[in-house]
Amino acid sequence: MQALELLTGDAQTFVEKVWARRVGRYDRDQRTLVDRLSLDDVDQLITGSALRTPQIRLARDGSVLPEASYTRKGATIAGKPLSGLIDVRRVLSLFGEGATIVLQGLHRYWPPLTELISALETELGHPCQANAYLTPPGSQGFAVHSDTHDVFVFQTHGSKLWEIHDLDDSGRRVPEQIRFTPGLVMYLPTGTPHAARAEDGVSLHVTIGINQLTWRGLLSDVITETLADLDDDHLPAGYLHDPDRLAGPLAERIGELARRLGRTDADRVARTQVRKFLTGRNPRLRGGLIDRLAADRLTADTELRRRPGSRCVLEPRGDRLGLLLGDRDLDVPGWLRPVIEELLAHDGAFRPADLDIDPESALVLCRRLLVEGLLEVTR
């Protein structure tokens, strides 16, 4: 799945002309987006899944409500107390009184959004998250505010009137009223002031937060790594009364730091950043139990496919090959590269027997990739 294509309709134009620059507005296929989180889905999550804080919070008229107003005490599992368990009746009652229900971190436990976030992270190279906002008719959860990260927003039920303060050609913030209905997607760069109010009916929208990685952050990592190799002697005694005792040695050390930074291998830093990102994501293992059980029964004719939302970036390492799988780094023999590239190129189902490799090696490779979560048995 191509997440940016789904959200914007033109990933290349978004990356080149919109990303981190300006507000973007896109009319998309409403069915595809509504299916990511419907009103019925939210009903099930609230009333049938034993949500706990901080998975859920409530807000009304710009203020977050205290957790004690919608959680209950006394709940246990196997005799051990549960904290933060919601009181469903209280939640529904507060919703009826005008409170917005916020479902937080849905990318961690709601599969349709987990898949979308996983694909979006891989395309952008930035960590992402998903929250949902269920607002009763005529209510407003939060006043005009701006976020410290970029967001995509899309409506899945009802409508909501948004006030967005976009930049005009002169760089001034100009408020604009936009009516959100299912199928409309908005991209708001960091710092864009906005607020939203439900209209005559219940409103449900999803906000995808993009916790952007920055040049300053990457350079800070480079400097920290370089500083680790410099001497860490005491500052000279008596510098409070004679600042020159500090200024001279400081200038020398700044010069040495600059020289070492100038010798930094940018290619190595870039590869390290890729490896760090692609081994630190949430695992994509839905169905992994069934697949692990199926691995022992794998045959040359078993139909397999790439697991939806899975990641795999190849990293050559001499006679070895690294497979960066999102939450881990798998090391395999380098001669397998053409076979793995062939495997990744399959759009649909394939069999181990289809791979250009001896049958036993094909089974061993597919069994390993099945266990690691890159592949799944077609169902």
| CATH number of the domain that residue 20 is part of | 2.60.120.650
Residues 64 and 169 placed together within one structural domain of the fold: yes
Q: Tell me the pLDDT band of 307, cut-offs 50, 70 and 90.
A: confident
CA distance 65 to 57: 7
Residues 168 and 46 placed together within one structural domain of the fold: yes
Q: Tell me the pLDDT band of 189, cut-offs 50, 70 and 90.
A: very high
Sheet strands (E) in the chain:
24-27, 56-60, 63-64, 76-77, 80-81, 100-103, 128-135, 150-157, 160-167, 173-180, 184-188, 194-198, 203-210, 304-306, 313-317, 320-324, 329-333, 375-377
Residues 33 and 177 placed together within one structural domain of the fold: yes
What are the tens digits of pLDDT across the range 264-284?
999 999 999 999 999 999 888
Q: How many domains does one find in the chain?
A: 3
Q: What is the pLDDT of residue 17?
A: 95
Residues 230 and 204 placed together within one structural domain of the fold: no
Q: What is the pLDDT of residue 141?
A: 66
Residues 137 and 39 placed together within one structural domain of the fold: yes
Could you tell me if 112 and 195 are in contact, meaning their C-beta atoms sit under 8 angstroms apart?
A: no
Residues 203 and 223 placed together within one structural domain of the fold: no
Q: Tell me the pLDDT band of 2, cut-offs 50, 70 and 90.
A: confident
Average pLDDT over residues 174-188: 92
In a domain, 49, yes or no: yes
Residues 82 and 197 placed together within one structural domain of the fold: yes
CATH of the domain at 333: 3.90.930.40
Q: What is the pLDDT of residue 290?
A: 87
Residues 17 and 73 placed together within one structural domain of the fold: yes
In the chain, what is the straight-line distance between the N-terminal and C-terminal CA atoms, in Å? 18
Residues 58 and 137 placed together within one structural domain of the fold: yes
Q: What is the pLDDT of residue 345?
A: 87
What are the tens digits of pLDDT across the range 347-376?
889 999 999 899 999 999 999 999 999 999
Q: Which amino acid is at 224?
A: T
Point out the domain boundary residue: 210, 225, 243. 210
In a domain, 33, yes or no: yes
In a domain, 282, yes or no: no
Q: What is the pLDDT of residue 1?
A: 57
For residue 119, is pLDDT > 80?
A: yes
In a domain, 166, yes or no: yes
Q: What is the pLDDT of residue 292?
A: 87
For residue 29, is pLDDT > 90?
A: no
In a domain, 280, yes or no: no
Q: What is the pLDDT of residue 309?
A: 76
Average pLDDT over residues 19-29: 91
Query: How many residues does the structure list for the chain?
Result: 379
CA distance 59 to 218: 35
Mean pLDDT score of the chain, rounded to an integer?
A: 92
Q: What is the pLDDT of residue 120?
A: 94
Residues 69 and 197 placed together within one structural domain of the fold: yes
Beta carbons within 10 angstroms of residue 265's beta carbon:
9
In a domain, 275, yes or no: no
Point out the domain boundary residue: 189, 210, 231. 210
Average pLDDT over residues 189-202: 89
In a domain, 276, yes or no: no
Average pLDDT over residues 46-57: 94
Give 86's strand partners: 71
Q: Supply angle C-alpha 186, 190, 111, rounded to 5.
A: 55
Residues 31 and 117 placed together within one structural domain of the fold: yes
Point out the domain boundary residue: 177, 195, 210. 210
In a domain, 277, yes or no: no
Q: Are strands 320-324 and 329-333 parallel, antiparallel or unpaired?
A: antiparallel
Q: Is 195 left (phi over 0), alpha (psi -120 to 50) or beta?
A: beta
Omega before residue 54 within 30° of 0, cis: yes
Residues 192 and 53 placed together within one structural domain of the fold: yes
Boundaries of domain holding 137:
3-210
